[in-house]
Amino acid sequence: MLLTRYLGFPLYVGRCKTVYFAEKYCRRVHPCQVKLNPFSSATWRRMLNVSRQVELSMLWLIQDGLCNFWFDNWLGSGALFLHGPIAANLSFHDFITQGHWNVQSLFQTLPQKIIPAILDKPVPIEHQSDEVVWIAATSGQFSLASAFHEQNPIPLKVSFFMVRLLSGRLPLDNVLHTLGIHGPSKCWCCPYASVEMFEHVFSTGQVAKEVWAYFGELCGISLGSSVRAHLVSWWLSSPASEKQKLYDWSHQTKRKFGFKLVQWKPGEGEEYFTLNTDGCSKGNPGTSGGGRVIRDVVGRPLVGFSAFFGEVHQIWKLIDIPTRLSHCFREANKVADILANVGVAHPHLDIKFYEHWNDWPRLAREGIRLDFIRMPSIRIVKLP
């Protein structure tokens, strides 16, 4: 078995596979030295680009100095060819004299700024073999999961949205039409009537043009004429400007989230009723409404109402909080939340009462049924 490398990864393979990969793909040179030619396939181009990124996450622990002096990342700050010109015919042993680093040779060949980092490294000896570790994993062992998180710092929800966007799986009007769901189509982002289509919403519409133009000018990027052209121009640009860090998620702290089961609970004591109340506002200021529901100890609704408040600046100032009122999550207050939204929808009626079961809005009846059987809802919470 031999130790070889394919696209920057160490591979323990048999002699036949070693010769095959070295001859066919890398031509017996380091993966960083492989050059693309006009006939290279798109897959091979992508693999080489990934290879160059992966090299930065591989750290060579030098023992006998058989790894590549110029193209392997043994300093921890990237390979030496990234810091200046190289002399490919020289190796580790050309910079070592009597078991010590030859400082004069280093200064004659390498940039001065990188020499202190080299002198901090131990001089290679011939008793052990060089070892490569994967920086992205605490164990030092390569795994697909660690490689994915290392090379794809974009949040998962953004990646998922982009997959749906580029594959035409967003629920736009023209997509719904292909599924047999027909109706009037209008782009709500434009002041004039326009059909809601993929390119219009994300590229050629008025709002889309203004957004692309603003960030394109801010980051010095020349954009194309379609969504895919915009994305190619954006992601292939060099992130030299400090302003371009606005889309760099690689240094953001990853938040951890968990799940919590939330359900409606009656008040304490059999002789008490439970009052749930909520308000909503369609903007600030905006049209507002409120809703309340009173239930007995087992969850049966006794009376409820929805109210129209008109235009309110700060809806919470309408409520004088008594001492017996406590806060609960929206998932445990969904009936009152539904009634508050209903209240916004009847501006012609200041208040509307619900006493009989059939009078309640359909969504409110469903929420009451779920609360009656203590059906919990799942709430996403941020972990400490």
pLDDT digits (tens, 9 = 90+) for 207-247: 888 888 888 887 777 777 788 888 877 776 655 554 455 55
pLDDT at 9: 45
Q: Is 70 exceeded by the pLDDT of residue 251?
A: no
pLDDT at 322: 55
Q: Are 164 and 157 in contact (CB under 8 A)?
A: no
Task: Tell me the pTM.
Answer: 0.40
Q: Could you tell me which residue, 255 or 217, shows the higher pLDDT?
A: 217
Distant-in-sequence, close-in-space partners of 53: CB < 8 Å, separation ≥ 6: 151
Distant-in-sequence, close-in-space partners of 202: CB < 8 Å, separation ≥ 6: 165, 208, 227
Mean residue pLDDT across the chain: 78
pLDDT band at 28 (very low <50, low <70, confident <90, very high): low
The encoded tokens of residue 41 equal: 């396939």
Q: Are 289 and 308 in contact (CB under 8 A)?
A: yes
Quick: pLDDT tens for 274-326. Answer: 889 888 888 777 788 889 999 988 889 999 999 988 887 665 555 555 556 67
Q: How far apart are CA 335 and CA 299, in angstroms?
A: 12
pLDDT band at 53 (very low <50, low <70, confident <90, very high): confident
Q: Is 70 exceeded by the pLDDT of residue 253?
A: no
Calculate mean pLDDT across residues 30-51.
75
pLDDT band at 8 (very low <50, low <70, confident <90, very high): very low
